Structure 1
Amino acid sequence: MPNLILASGSPRRKELLQQIHLSFSIEVSNADESFSQDLPPDEVVMELAERKAVSIAAENPGSFVIGSDTVVVFNGEILGKPSDSDHAKEMLRMLSGKTHFVYTGVAIVKDQTEKMFYKKTEVTFWELTEEEIDMYAASGEPLDKAGGYGIQGLGAFLVKEISGDYFSVVGLPVSHVYRSLKEMGYHP
């Protein structure tokens, strides 16, 4: 059976693939993650996912390689990971009581074959108090998360509702990845 490689160091993506009992290895991509601010979010996440997957696939012929990238978009602005606790608080205040979008792009590459897609999920936050924002920022959880929160952890209390793929908000739309792998000839 061909190898399956996750081109990401994200513990959340690793957990999601393990959750559906796929056997895989991890090779973290050092691909350039800069992007043009002129690109729409769906193109940004697919381009970054493709860069990650292609860089690892080039070193692993015959393997299926999964690259992924997630961004949070509010009022047309892409929010990356906060630089520090104060930046996280600023993001949380911005998202408080409002709706934003989470885009996750996926690229699966095997040799010269590529399949790319993205998922867009609508997320609405509760109106947050300063005490809640301070407490969440102090937890340290926001610092390595796009948009400054993690829906699968303590940040679950921030979220009033979502419309779309929950797992995409976590970082990898696993059911779509699974089906795409099968379409490409991977049989777990």
Structure 2
Amino acid sequence: MLPDLPAVDGVEIRSNGLLLPQGMPFGAWECIGQFVLNAAESVTWWIGDLLVYGQDAFGDRYEQAIARTSLDYQTLRNYAWIAKKFPVSRRRDKLSFGHHSEVAALVESEQDVWLERAERLGWSRNELRRRLRAARNARLMGGTEQRQPLTQAVNLQVSVRQHERWREAAEQMNCSIDHWIVETLDEAAGIRSE
């Protein structure tokens, strides 16, 4: 839960800035700083939850509304995707939105294992990413990769611009473009990833 902003005379929060009084004690400055950092982290979740609600409740009107924002469409999709992957009850307060985004493509049980490790061991988001990559590489090198189900190849002809946008979106989700395309298509088809 986001703590209340400490009551300090002369502090003004505006949409375009934070006004702080001269001579403010260090402790008050520190408390305000913690509030601001917590709020910044929370905003990403709030946006994701708002978008998920809008998708479910307002359909086409939701898409018109997000088109009027100043945020990149793919960024908003990523926020919504991660918020959908992690209901509030599964989110770890001590870990950032970024931590959750690193494991979002995994199955729930694996997400929980990695988030628990990151929380217990105090890993940064970058450390979690590094550990995930190392574990993936170890599985591939050790030949213990799970047997893949029968697959069907699909050949798509897309513009260079589309491919670049998709590659960038996959990078933001820290996954391969193939994985990102499959996840996105499954989500659009209403299929839960296995």
Query: The TM-score by the shorter chain falls in which range?
Result: under 0.3
Larger Rg, first or second structure (1 or 2):
2
**Structure with the bigger percentage of helix:** 2
Q: Which has the higher strand share?
A: 1
TM-score, normalised to structure 2, is: 0.25
Q: State the TM-score, normalizing by the size of structure 1.
A: 0.25
